[in-house]
């Protein structure tokens, strides 16, 4: 831990920084839970209408010859998808038709059946703020000075650095990144993973228990 006398205790003290969050007003919390409760009640009512044949159900179902097998579609487990997510589905997975930069163009679509299916209108909605793209560092742009840096690093390290280190090897820049993260957090060391889902499903269970 260095010659400056900073031991593990001081590292933990540096790591435990106070954080503050804006407390939501009570009426906001009450209205939120009330809204979910109302939508849930209407969901059960709509499921009843579907069960008696008064409303068409668009969700996939097993054929009669499959009834003896383990069900693929659990009615209760899909309750949220049928009755809540479908009502606001248009807010997600919208197709884009431009580079995913700070802003992009979104393909306009409409739904004739309350978001179960969509139809593209052929029009676009321009300059929509990009709030959730995989283009984290802007590498999908086709201009800008940083593109030369990307090209140079690609020539130096290749494209394999975006894969797992177990597959493509451990490079010096991996060690530099881990040391930088450890220094920033004020801890002894850190581990950097290239794949987020694999980190959760494979690496963490291999290192720690419940």
d(CA 158, CA 152): 10
Structure-block tokens of residue 160: 């394999």
Alpha-carbon separation of residue 110 from 85, 115, 123, 139, 176 (angstroms): 16, 8, 11, 31, 48
> Residue for token digits 């939508």?
39
Over residues 83-95, the pLDDT tens digits come to 888 888 888 888 9
Confidence of residue 4 (pLDDT cuts 50, 70, 90): very low
Q: What is the average pLDDT across 192-204?
A: 74
Work out whether strand 103-110 and strand 119-129 pair parallel, antiparallel, or are unpaired.
antiparallel
Over residues 132-153, the pLDDT tens digits come to 777 766 667 777 677 788 788 8
Mean pLDDT over each residue of the chain, to the nearest integer: 80
Return the DSSP state at 140: T
- pLDDT top residue among 37 and 162: 37
The reported pLDDT for the residue numbered 15 is: 52
Helix (H, G, I), strand (E, B) or coil at 121: strand
> Residue for token digits 């004739």?
112
């Amino acid at each position: 831990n260095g010659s400056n006398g900073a031991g593990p205790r001081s590292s933990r003290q540096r790591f435990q920084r106070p954080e503050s969050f804006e407390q939501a007003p009570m009426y906001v919390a009450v209205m939120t839970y009330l809204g979910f409760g109302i939508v849930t009640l209407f969901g059960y009512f709509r499921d009843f209408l579907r069960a008696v044949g008064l409303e068409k159900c668009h969700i996939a179902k097993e054929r009669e010859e499959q009834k003896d097998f383990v069900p693929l579609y659990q009615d209760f487990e899909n309750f949220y998808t049928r009755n809540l997510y479908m009502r606001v589905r248009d807010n997600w997975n919208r197709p884009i038709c431009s580079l995913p930069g700070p802003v992009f163009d979104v393909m306009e679509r409409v739904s004739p059946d309350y978001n179960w299916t969509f139809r593209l209108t052929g029009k676009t909605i321009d300059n929509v703020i990009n709030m959730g793209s995989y283009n984290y560092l802007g590498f999908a742009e086709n201009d800008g000075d940083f593109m030369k840096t990307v090209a140079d690093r690609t020539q130096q390290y290749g494209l394999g650095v975006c894969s797992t280190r177990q597959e493509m090897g451990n490079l010096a820049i991996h060690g530099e990144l881990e040391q930088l993260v450890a220094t920033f957090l004020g801890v002894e060391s850190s581990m950097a993973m290239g794949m987020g889902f694999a980190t959760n499903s494979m690496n963490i269970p291999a290192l720690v228990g419940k």
